[in-house]
A = this chain, B = another copy of it.
Amino acid sequence: MSDLIQIAYEVICPPGVSVEKLSMEIALEQTVEVPLECIPTREIRESVAGQVLEIVPLRMEQHQYRVRIGYHPDNTAYQIPQFLNLLFGNISMKKNIRVVELSLPEQLVNRFSGPRYGIAGLRSLLRVYNRPLAATALKPLGSDPARLASLAEAFARGGGDIIKDDHGLAEQPFCPFRERVSQCQEAVTRANSRTGHNTLYFPNISGSWEQMQAQAEFAVSQDVKGILLSPWLSGPDFLRYLAKQYPLVIMVHPAFAGTYFHDPLHGIKPAILLGTLLRWWGADISVFPNHGGRFSFNPQDCRELSLALRRPWGCVKPAWPAPAGGMSLDNIGEMKKEYGKDAIYLIGGALLKHSKDLSGSTRVFMETIHRAFQKSPEEPARERVPALSPAGTEKPAGRILEHLPRLEDFRWTGREPLEYKAEKQVDFKAITRHELVGQYGENTGFDLRYFQIEPGGFSSPEKHRHEHVIICIRGNGILRQGDNAIHLKEHDIAYVPPFKEHQLKNESEQPFGFFCIVDHVRDKPIKPGALKK
């Protein structure tokens, strides 16, 4: 496979311009932005400037061609804003150029980690395996949190899978984010405890640059498992950041992106913009306008987009297509034929029309889906969602072991002690980490680690959503939690609650060693004080 990014464009040559000249202009415009003769060195000409790889005539009466250009991945700085600039920055302002194919070298693909959950991970979370998922949106804008919470509760009681905020719900004075999120999540939790289902509520993250991260933190603190984001409003790199930082299912909405698809001679194919790219950057679910509804996509756009989301693609997990708009109880058969079971059926107005008995109409909707898809009693193997490791921490070497005898010097057979953190930081001292179980391919929901702190040493002060269970097994030490100091001696156990600031220290003259048990899927620690308000 080529080491270059390859982009195919459909272009129309203006009168009097050869396709060779036009292709070269694109290759230069998107990189060096100077004419060929002004490139100062051979190296820049050969490895930075775009390279025209192929020109294929399409519709000659329109002077239309398909042009393939190769770009060195270093040009992207391996970052999303500059990647988009390379893809369609300046040439978005030229006439009649459309991005129709994108092929990325593995070296670049691996810079972003793709969906955290993807199709199999979200199925595990919901415990739904053999049918499509059913979702709806909380509307209309103007409703207060209590009204939305009662809609959410009714949908959950009817057995729906996902209820998301409408993407226009932001920080409006009539429906502030925090009140909405806590009331809706509480309502859904209450319904779940009655039904035994696991309906999920996805609030919409939309706010100022300073607020969005705090919104995500707040959602996590309320036990929310997923969110809705409009990356073309928030800035697309924020999608990648959310996916990396929080254990949230991410559903993305295409608001404001429609111009890229309006003109068949210009823009970026939906399969690329809403499919390949959003999946690559971390979307678990991509919402798009289904054909036949009130928007402008055609059946082929929808097919290609679903394929881009679900096709096998190296380590990047498949993501969910979520066709929306115009769905009703009557067209589940068509939806099945078109999208199959690995899709999310978004039903809006058709359910809400019956909002006097939303539970009842959701129940009918769910029964129709159940009837249309064969149920099977076996669950597939549980999907393993990778842990969020501290930045720069690599997977430890080793294999699954069934017996790990402890050695004399507080090591364990088959497990080598590691640096406490791979990052160079100065806020810890004299501490080592032993990854014992969970990082070697096991399927446990937790990791077991051993840490040892030498006299005078300490761990980084940290806080995070995930909890710690700590068992002291060697010497004694201090666990600081907020303003509290807990003294730990052999076999003492301690529990660190969510978002409690904590740090471990050894003020004795002997090594202090303890086990620490954590969820395998967990959020990244935040340094106290680094949290954005």
| List of B residues within 8 angstroms of A207 by Cβ | 77, 79, 81
Q: Given A38-B349, A140-B32, A140-B39, do A77 and B209 touch, yes or no (CB 8 Å)?
A: no
Interface segment among A186-194, A303-311, A365-373, A523-531: the answer is: A523-531
Contact count band on A: 35 or more
Query: Looking at A90, A147, A206, A259, which has the most chain B CB atoms within 10 Å of its CB?
Result: A259
| List of B residues within 8 angstroms of A234 by Cβ | 81, 235, 237
| List of B residues within 8 angstroms of A127 by Cβ | none
The contact string, 1 if C-beta is below 8 Å from chain B, for chain A 475-519, is 000000000000000000000000000000000000000000000
The contact string, 1 if C-beta is below 8 Å from chain B, for chain A 228-270, is 0010011111101100000000000011111111110011000
Q: In chain A between 278 and 314, which residues have their CB closer than 8 angstroms to a CB of chain B? A: 289, 294-297
Measured CB to CB, the closest approach of chain B to A15, in angstroms, equals 15
A396 within 8 A of B: no
Which of B30, B47, B352 meets A34, CB within 8 Å?
Answer: B352
Measured CB to CB, the closest approach of chain B to A157, in angstroms, equals 19
Complex CA distance for A355 and B151, rounded to whole angstroms: 66
Complex CA distance for A243 and B297, rounded to whole angstroms: 38
Task: Indicate if the CB atoms of A166 and B85 lie closer than 8 Å.
Answer: no
| List of B residues within 8 angstroms of A230 by Cβ | 81, 85, 89
A55 within 8 A of B: no
Task: Indicate if the CB atoms of A256 and B142 lie closer than 8 Å.
Answer: no
Task: Indicate if the CB atoms of B77 and A206 lie closer than 8 Å.
Answer: yes
Q: In chain A between 20 and 44, which residues have their CB closer than 8 angstroms to a CB of chain B? A: 25, 29-35, 38-41, 43-44
The contact string, 1 if C-beta is below 8 Å from chain B, for chain A 71-96, is 00011111111101110111111110
Measured CB to CB, the closest approach of chain B to A235, in angstroms, equals 2
A393 within 8 A of B: no
Task: Indicate if the CB atoms of A38 and B93 lie closer than 8 Å.
Answer: no
- Stoichiometry, copies per complex: 2
The contact string, 1 if C-beta is below 8 Å from chain B, for chain A 205-243, is 011111100000000000000000010011111101100
Complex CA distance for A85 and B168, rounded to whole angstroms: 7
| List of B residues within 8 angstroms of A257 by Cβ | 92-93
Measured CB to CB, the closest approach of chain B to A203, in angstroms, equals 14
Q: In chain A between 128 and 160, which residues have their CB closer than 8 angstroms to a CB of chain B? A: 137, 139-143, 147
Complex CA distance for A257 and B233, rounded to whole angstroms: 13
Task: Indicate if the CB atoms of A38 and B352 lie closer than 8 Å.
Answer: yes
Complex CA distance for A254 and B235, rounded to whole angstroms: 14
| List of B residues within 8 angstroms of A139 by Cβ | 32-34
Task: Indicate if the CB atoms of B208 and A93 lie closer than 8 Å.
Answer: no
Task: Indicate if the CB atoms of A142 and B267 lie closer than 8 Å.
Answer: no
| List of B residues within 8 angstroms of A142 by Cβ | 31-32, 39, 41, 43-44, 47-49
A348 within 8 A of B: yes
Interface segment among A113-121, A169-177, A402-410, A452-460: the answer is: A169-177
Task: Indicate if the CB atoms of B166 and A33 lie closer than 8 Å.
Answer: yes
Task: Indicate if the CB atoms of A93 and B258 lie closer than 8 Å.
Answer: yes
| List of B residues within 8 angstroms of A39 by Cβ | 140, 142
| List of B residues within 8 angstroms of A95 by Cβ | 262, 296
A463 within 8 A of B: no
Task: Indicate if the CB atoms of A82 and B209 lie closer than 8 Å.
Answer: no
A59 within 8 A of B: no
Query: Looking at A92, A174, A289, which has the most chain B CB atoms within 10 Å of its CB?
Result: A92
Measured CB to CB, the closest approach of chain B to A238, in angstroms, equals 5
A353 within 8 A of B: yes
A167 within 8 A of B: yes
| List of B residues within 8 angstroms of A88 by Cβ | 256, 258
Task: Indicate if the CB atoms of B89 and A349 lie closer than 8 Å.
Answer: no
Complex CA distance for A137 and B170, rounded to whole angstroms: 38
Apart from A234-B235, A527-B529, what are 16 other A-B pairs with CB-CB below 8 Å?
Answer: A32-B142, A34-B352, A75-B141, A79-B211, A82-B206, A89-B167, A90-B255, A92-B255, A93-B257, A93-B296, A95-B262, A95-B296, A208-B237, A209-B238, A259-B263, A530-B532
- Pull 28 A–B residue pairs with CB atoms less than 8 Å apart, ordered by A: A25-B294, A31-B140, A32-B140, A32-B141, A33-B137, A34-B352, A38-B352, A38-B353, A38-B355, A40-B140, A44-B140, A82-B171, A85-B170, A85-B230, A88-B258, A89-B230, A90-B255, A94-B294, A94-B295, A208-B240, A208-B241, A235-B235, A235-B236, A235-B237, A259-B263, A259-B267, A263-B266, A529-B529
